[in-house]
């Protein structure tokens, strides 16, 4: 079946451009704001936040430290000072609550690059993709944690495109554009969502960090789904949607899955909410993931919502 419309076109037509893009816009706003806050210092002398994503200081008082680089440093045999420990704990708790990969979709500057690559991929209808296991990133994560043991240095930071881009924009890029370009080309020509969803160990780390995160995307109105596949098309981690949306039977058990997208790989980007014309998805908590209850409850809620709204489309 050939789909004539772009993913999200139906939602745009039915909900309006703004409503069909609100989470994407919010995400870009978040990414750019965070980057701008870091750039205010070097550009305009406004030092609200100093440092970079690896470790920073807000208002010269609150430390923040990337727990991933912190862990690598620990594995290299170094005992960090209190500032780094405090900073790592703050960041750890935050992402453990809101979703580990919120870092990827709401903070990481490289995500904007890979999103552009993905957008161009769609524009130019580049469909070929080399298949890599999505688990590769965990192997790479393991490698980056073993290397400090062996070499005594934080080896991953020598090439990490994420920190390379962020630090580069603030302190000077040097030749780091080449690494960013490599990631861009990988995502554009070699593999669909190759970097963020297959290789990046930073994302893998934050996935694990947010395994039990409180805030999750829910498909409470999943019975409204008309199988348009738009959410699936835009999702950077396509595999995470189906269990929640289709209540897919978990292999080996009799249970079907509840409406919460529980996979830690979900980046909480909210793009599925945007592109769904039926408003199947929404941000929520991971609680109340009971299959039947939520089914009926959400159905009620949803029909109420539908009645409330002007009711362009009535089932």
Partner 1 sequence: MNTRPGQAVDKAALNSRRKFLLDSARAAGGAAMVALGLGLYSRQSVSLPASAIRPPGALDEKDFLGACVRCGLCVRDCPYDTLKLAKFGDKVATGTPYFTARDIPCEMCDDIPCVKACPTGALDHSLENIDDARMGLAVLIDEENCLNFQGLRCDVCYRICPVIDKAITLEMEHNVRSGKHALFIPTVHSDHCTGCGKCERACVLEDTAIRVMPYELAKGELGHHYRWGWKEKNKAGESLVTPDIEHKYNLPRGQSYDIQGEGLIIDDDSSDASPFSSNPLDTLNRNSLDTRGNARGTEK
Among the listed residues 10, 56, 224, 262, the single contact to partner 1 using CB under 8 A: 56
DSSP secondary structure code for residue 269 in this structure: -
Q: Which of 17, 139 has the CB closer to partner 1?
A: 139
Pick 68 or 95: Cβ nearer partner 1: 68
Q: Is 238 in the site for partner 1 (CB under 8 A)?
A: no
The answer to whether the CB of 161 falls within 8 A of the CB of 202 is no
140 binds partner 1 (CB under 8 A): yes
**Member of 35, 66, 277, 282 binding partner 1 (CB under 8 A):** 66
Answer whether 36's CB lies under 8 Å from 298's CB. no
Which of 7, 109, 148, 243 touches partner 1 by CB under 8 A?
A: 148
Q: Binder to partner 1 among 170, 202, 231, 235 (CB under 8 A)? A: 170
Q: Is 171 in the site for partner 1 (CB under 8 A)?
A: yes
Size of the site for partner 1 (CB under 8 A): 60
Q: Where are the alpha helices (DSSP H) in 3-109?
A: 9-15, 22-44, 67-75, 82-98, 102
242 lines the binding site for partner 1 (CB under 8 A): no
DSSP assignments along 129-148, one per residue: -----TTHHHHHHHHHHHHH
Q: In the set 76, 90, 190, 225, which binds partner 1 (CB under 8 A)?
A: 76
Whole-number minimum distance, CB 192 to partner 1, in Å?
Answer: 17
> Rounded to whole angstroms, how far apart are CA atoms 263 and 130?
23
Given 69, 202, 217, 257, the residue binding partner 1 (CB under 8 A): 69
142 counts as binding partner 1 under rule CB under 8 A? yes
Minimum distance from residue 45 beta carbon to partner 1 (Å):
12
Query: Side-chain half-sphere of 68: how many Cα atoms within 13 Å?
Result: 27
Beta bridge partners of 58: 49, 62
CB within 8 A of 45, min separation 6: which ones?
A: none
Give dist(CA 268, CA 179) in Å, integer.
26
Work out which of 146, 185, 285, 291 binds partner 1, going by CB under 8 A.
146
Q: Which of 25, 32, 62, 158 binds partner 1 (CB under 8 A)?
A: 158
Residue 215 main-chain phi, psi, to 5 deg? -85, 125
Task: Please list the residues that pair with 65 across neighbouring strands.
Answer: 55
In the list 9, 19, 52, 169, the residue contacting partner 1 (rule: CB under 8 A) is 52
Encode 171-196: b = buried (16+ Cβ within 10 Å), e = exposed: eeeeebeebbeebbebbbbebbbbbb
Asked if 154 touches partner 1 (CB under 8 A), the answer is yes
Q: Is 43 in the site for partner 1 (CB under 8 A)?
A: no
Q: Are 198 and 114 in contact (CB under 8 A)?
A: no
Binding track, positions 97-136, relative to partner 1; x by CB under 8 A: -----------------------------------xx-xx
| Binding to partner 1, residues 77-96 (CB under 8 A) | 77-81, 83-84, 87
CA distance 266 to 177: 28
Q: Which residue ranges make up the site for partner 1 (CB under 8 A)?
A: 41, 47, 50-52, 54-57, 63, 65-66, 69-70, 73, 76-81, 83-84, 87, 132-133, 135-136, 138-140, 142-144, 146-148, 150-159, 163-164, 167-168, 170-176, 178-179
């Amino acid at each position: 079946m050939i789909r004539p419309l772009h993913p999200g076109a139906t939602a745009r037509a039915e909900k309006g451009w703004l409503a069909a893009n609100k989470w994407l816009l919010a995400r870009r706003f978040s990414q750019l704001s965070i980057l701008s806050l870091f750039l205010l210092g070097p550009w305009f002398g406004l030092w609200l936040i100093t440092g970079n994503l690896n470790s920073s200081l807000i208002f010269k008082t609150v430390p923040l430290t990337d727990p991933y680089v912190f862990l690598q440093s620990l594995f290299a045999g170094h005992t960090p000072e209190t500032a780094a420990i405090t900073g790592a704990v703050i960041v750890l708790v935050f992402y453990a609550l809101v979703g580990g990969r919120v870092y990827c979709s709401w903070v990481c500057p490289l995500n904007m690059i890979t999103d552009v690559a993905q957008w161009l991929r769609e524009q130019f209808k580049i469909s070929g993709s080399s298949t890599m296991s999505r688990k590769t990133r965990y192997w790479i994560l393991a490698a980056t944690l073993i290397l400090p043991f062996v070499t005594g240095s934080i080896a991953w930071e020598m090439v990490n495109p994420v920190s390379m881009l962020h630090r580069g924009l603030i302190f000077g890029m040097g030749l780091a554009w080449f690494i960013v370009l490599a990631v861009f080309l990988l995502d554009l020509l070699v593999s669909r969502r190759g970097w963020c969803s297959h290789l990046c160990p930073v994302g893998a780390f934050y996935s694990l960090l947010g395994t039990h995160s409180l805030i999750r995307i829910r498909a409470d109105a999943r019975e409204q789904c008309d199988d348009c596949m738009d959410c699936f098309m835009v999702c950077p981690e396509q595999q995470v949607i189906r269990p929640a949306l289709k209540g897919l039977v978990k292999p080996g058990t009799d249970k079907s899955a509840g409406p919460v997208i529980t996979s830690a790989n979900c980046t909480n980007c909210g793009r599925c909410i945007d592109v769904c014309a039926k408003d199947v998805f929404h941000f929520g908590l991971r609680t109340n993931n009971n299959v039947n209850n939520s089914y009926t409850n959400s159905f009620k809620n949803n029909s109420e919502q539908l009645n409330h709204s002007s009711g362009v489309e009535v089932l």
